[in-house]
Amino acid sequence: MASLRYHFAIFCAKGTKFALNLMGRGATTLPGKVAAKIDPKILAKLCKGRDCLTITGTNGKTTTTWIAAAFINADPARTCGYVTTVEANT
């Protein structure tokens, strides 16, 4: 069962994203930083029970994500969902 800290971190991250959208701000890392500050193990909890690949960096993240997803989805036995600052696909 997920902890109160986990749920609060998710709630605050979504609230941060909502506030940023109201202000007309585009993609930002702030919601993730807020969630990680509240619950430092948030990524481990979100990936629990799943194969998870996290792509970070300064340049090329979206392209790398699309290439990785295409590679994984080439195997009919596997499916891959991804989230980027450009689009979400599950």
Question: What pLDDT score does 29 carry?
Answer: 84
Q: What is the pLDDT along the chain (90 residues), one digit of tens a residue?
A: 679 999 999 999 999 999 999 999 876 788 989 999 999 999 889 888 888 888 888 888 888 988 998 998 898 888 887 766 555 555
Question: What pLDDT score does 1 carry?
Answer: 61
Question: What pLDDT score does 85 carry?
Answer: 57
Q: Where are the beta strands (DSSP E) in the chain?
A: 82-83, 88-89
CA–CA distance, 65 with 68 (Å, rounded to integer):
5
Amino acid at 73: N
Question: What pLDDT score does 46 carry?
Answer: 86
